[in-house]
Amino acid sequence: MSIPAIGDKIYIRGAMYVYRGKDDRIGGIATISKIQEESNNYFIEVEEIPGVRFNYKHLQEEQQELKEQYGDQKARPDPDDRPQFNDPNEGWRKL
């Protein structure tokens, strides 16, 4: 596994959350802004999606697939702020 560096470009996946719509994001190319080493692994943050950590090893394994999926698209937030998609008790729901 290569060692990440601040400023490196990397593809990240998009995400859509049922009860945390404010955290939805569009996947694509992102710029590494922060690196933290833990237990022989690296966790990164990217400029385009601040405050979210990504497992660098897993991203490295997916780069070819993500490149084919996203091409030149830039990663970015895509929040859904509607109340029905942002439950303050998310994670504690009883079904």
Per-residue pLDDT at 12 exceeds 80: yes
Residue ranges of E strands in 19-75: 25-26, 28-38, 41-46, 49-55
Average pLDDT of 71-85? 93
Q: What is the pTM of this model?
A: 0.85
Radius of gyration of the CA atoms of the chain, in A: 15
Using pLDDT thresholds of 50, 70 and 90, give the confidence band for residue 85: confident
Residue 91 has a pLDDT of 63
In DSSP terms, 44 is beta-bridged to 35, 54
- Going from N- to C-terminal start, the domains of the chain cover 9-82
